[in-house]
Amino acid sequence: MAAPMIAEWSWFVALAFGVSFIKCLLINAYHSTDFEVHRNWLAVTHSLPVSQWYYESTSEWTLDYPPFFAWFEYGLSHVAKYFDKEMLVVQNLNYASPATVLFQRLSVIFTDLVFIYAVKECCKCCREDKGKDLLGKSSFILATLLLWNFGLLIVDHIHFQYNGFLFGVLLLSVARHFQKRHLEGALLFAVLLNLKHIYLYVSPAYGIFLLRCFCFTQNNADGSLQWRSFSPLRLVALGLIVLSTFAVSFGPFIVKGQLQQVISRLFPFKRGLCHAYWAPNIWALYNIADKALSILGVKLKLLDMSKFSKASMTGGLVQEFQHSVLPSVSPLITLICTLLSILPAVFSIWRRPNGARGFLRCMVICALGSFLFGWHVHEKAILMAILPLSLLAVESKEDARTFLILSTTGHFSLFPLLFTAQELPIKILLMLLFTIFSFSSLTKLFSKSGPLLNSVEVAYLLGLVPLELICEFVYPLTSWQHTLPFIPLLLTSVYCALGVLYSFIRLYLSVLTAPSTTGKAKSQ
């Protein structure tokens, strides 16, 4: 029976190899300061004792990921020493010898194996399509959308990060929940939180889902909660898993009394509302509205220009943004907004859980909500919504529609990350590749029920082309490039924010109007 199995998955291996080859070719491409960040962490974890890891600050890129990631870098550093010992010296700031670049790039490509495995597990959860040719199978489409995801490729293999590895853990945890192996899924997520704490964004979805669907073993006939089916044993098991993971991770630091230092490194709230490049979220629109109103107010003589700080009128994208007209925004406000935005969805899966799919949908909403309303959000965080949404996109037409809009705008908003001339063709080619594939394959998959996007949505997406031309080609040739250099970034950010917000609303509507799974009393 092994032979047919191998034949069945040979296309998967081909996809995985193909994308790995492209990744290898990108080894010599531009890399951002994140490269130095990780080199520094290799050096710090290798050369210094554990007690120094979160105190070390020779380099400005201090360790700001949780302990498991530090251990991960420690493990990598033991392989690194065979490539170039010099990269492990903390004082060698910005050290980037060819061997260093090769090692770091290969480490990302290699750890992507976790992602590849996770994608395979997710594909197994796809519904069977018998009788369809390979290119029309939902598992094939899903595998390509995930393995060849444009955002992941350029953020991980050009800009430089380890998102493939981390998203692999996330998707594996999701796959385990689909396969009803909930304890494994919970363990994986706990581990993930201790690898990169940004995944706290989606922890409400996990918490509520596990509580609702795992700790309560049965539903009533109409699908509502059966309070009496609460299983303390399961709750304890979950609690044990989560607590022990955190204990292993933070234990050494608590023992040494360093917990506060670690927390302060992990959550540096001194940074501003927005990143230097505004992520396409609500606050970008808020900032723009504030600027527009202030200009309007001055023109209409309603406001006194002398009251504004100089920076707010002519300054571009600065981190500490003083709002002139609208009220300023503090971290607490963003937290409240985020919680408010995800509460209805979380409440909805509590009342009417839709199994693992409902959980996934809630997770995407949590990720998007946090992206839209969070404090100092990086545009890369959009991937946390796009990747899980891919799983839903191959199964439902509505989700496919949302996915196309979100992925195209989300990916486009990543363009400013690669600003060098040499990478321009790559980012355009890869973007076209992914977009053409996703559109044509999803359209074909759902071709029976009419066109996927309506004309307004198509017009919006097509508008990205002139936007790119203006920002990348036309604007630099004008005189404004020197006086107002931030305008292209601002335009990109604001334009994409509209698309992201729209996708958020669509997803919410699909959750709130979803029919509940009625009838059977499910035992889990």
Partner 1 sequence: MENWSLVSVCVLLGLTTRWAVSFSSYSGAGKPPMFGDYEAQRHWQEVTYNLPVQEWYFNTTDNDLGYWGLDYPPLTAYHSLLCGHVAKLINPAWVELRTSRGFESAAHKLFMRTTVLFADILIYFPAVILYCIYLSDGSSKRKVATALCILLYPGLILIDYGHFQYNSVSLALTLWGIVGLGLGWNLLGALAFSLALNYKQMELYHSLPFFCFLLGKCIKQGLMGRGLLLLVKISLTVLVTFALCWWPFLSDPQLILQVLHRLFPVDRGLFEDKVANTWCSLNVLIKIKTLLSRDTQLLLSFALTLLSILPSSIKLLTKPTLWQFKLALVNSSLAFFLFSFQVHEKSILLPLLSVLSYSMLPLLLKDGLLLPYTVTSLAFLYLGVYLLSALDRSPEEELRLGSCALHLVFLQFTVSLVAMAGLSFTSVVLEPPARLPDLFPVLVSVFSFLHFLAMLLYFNLVQLTEPSSKKSQKKTN
Site for partner 1 in 149-208 (CB under 8 A): none
Whether 418 and 427 have beta carbons less than 8 Å apart is answered as yes
Output the smallest distance, CB 151 to partner 1, in A: 16
Nearer to partner 1, 131 or 327 (CB): 131
Instruction: Render 322-391 in DSSP notation, one character per residue.
Output: --SSSPP--HHHHHHHHHHHHHHHHHHHHHS--HHHHHHHHHHHHHHHHHHH-SSB-GGGGHHHHHHHHH
Q: Is the dihedral of CA 390, 166, 495, 422 positive or negative?
A: negative
14 binds partner 1 (CB under 8 A): yes
Q: Report the C-alpha gap between 83 and 260 in whole angstroms.
A: 36
Output the smallest distance, CB 402 to partner 1, in A: 21
Residue 168, amino acid: G
Nearer to partner 1, 31 or 323 (CB): 31
Alpha-carbon 175 to chain mean position: 17
Nearer to partner 1, 27 or 96 (CB): 27
Output the smallest distance, CB 217 to partner 1, in A: 43
444 binds partner 1 (CB under 8 A): yes
Output the smallest distance, CB 28 to partner 1, in A: 4
Binding mask 312-331 for partner 1 (x = CB under 8 A): --------------------
Q: Report the C-alpha gap between 329 and 59 in whole angstroms.
A: 31
106 binds partner 1 (CB under 8 A): no
Nearer to partner 1, 41 or 148 (CB): 148
CA angle, corner 292, sides to 280 and 313, nearest 5? 95
Which of 123, 174, 426, 496 is close enough to bind partner 1 by CB under 8 A?
426
Output the smallest distance, CB 12 to partner 1, in A: 11
Whether 193 and 203 have beta carbons less than 8 Å apart is answered as yes
21 binds partner 1 (CB under 8 A): yes
Nearer to partner 1, 98 or 485 (CB): 98
Residue 380, amino acid: K
Which of 430, 452, 464, 496 is close enough to bind partner 1 by CB under 8 A?
430
- Helix (H) or strand (E) segment spanning residue 78: helix 67-80
Which of 6, 247, 343, 432 is close enough to bind partner 1 by CB under 8 A?
432
Whether 223 and 516 have beta carbons less than 8 Å apart is answered as yes
Q: Indicate the DSSP class of residue 178.
A: H
28 binds partner 1 (CB under 8 A): yes
Q: Where are the alpha helices (DSSP H) in 125-181?
A: 138-147, 150-154, 163-178
Q: Report the C-alpha gap between 32 and 388 in whole angstroms.
A: 26
Alpha-carbon 381 to chain mean position: 4
Q: Which residues contact 355 (CB under 8 A, 6 or more apart)?
A: 213, 517, 522
Output the smallest distance, CB 430 to partner 1, in A: 6
Q: Report the C-alpha gap between 236 and 230 in whole angstroms.
A: 12
Output the smallest distance, CB 42 to partner 1, in A: 22
Output the smallest distance, CB 112 to partner 1, in A: 15
Of 402, 400, 354, 406, the residue nearest 384 (C-alpha): 406
SS3 call for 315: coil
Q: Indicate the DSSP class of residue 112.
A: H
24 binds partner 1 (CB under 8 A): yes
Task: Tell me the window of 209-217, 322-330, 353-361, 436-444 that interacts with partner 1 (CB under 8 A).
Answer: 436-444
Binding mask 458-497 for partner 1 (x = CB under 8 A): ----------------------------------------
List beta partners, residue 274. Answer: 377
10 binds partner 1 (CB under 8 A): yes
Q: Is the dihedral of CA 428, 431, 432, 433 positive or negative?
A: positive
440 binds partner 1 (CB under 8 A): yes
Site for partner 1 in 119-138 (CB under 8 A): 135-136
Q: Which residues contact 206 (CB under 8 A, 6 or more apart)?
A: 186, 189, 359, 363
Task: Tell me the window of 16-24, 185-193, 391-399, 515-523 that interacts with partner 1 (CB under 8 A).
Answer: 16-24
Task: Tell me the window of 65-73, 121-129, 388-396, 420-428 that interacts with partner 1 (CB under 8 A).
Answer: 420-428
Q: How many residues bind partner 1 (CB under 8 A)?
A: 29
Output the smallest distance, CB 20 to partner 1, in A: 9
Tokens of 418: 């690669």
Output the smallest distance, CB 492 to partner 1, in A: 22
Output the smallest distance, CB 163 to partner 1, in A: 20
436 binds partner 1 (CB under 8 A): yes
Whether 381 and 279 have beta carbons less than 8 Å apart is answered as yes
441 binds partner 1 (CB under 8 A): yes
26 binds partner 1 (CB under 8 A): yes
Nearer to partner 1, 26 or 88 (CB): 26
Residues that bind partner 1 (CB under 8 A): 10-11, 14, 17-18, 21-22, 24-29, 135-136, 421-422, 425-426, 429-430, 432-433, 436-437, 439-441, 444
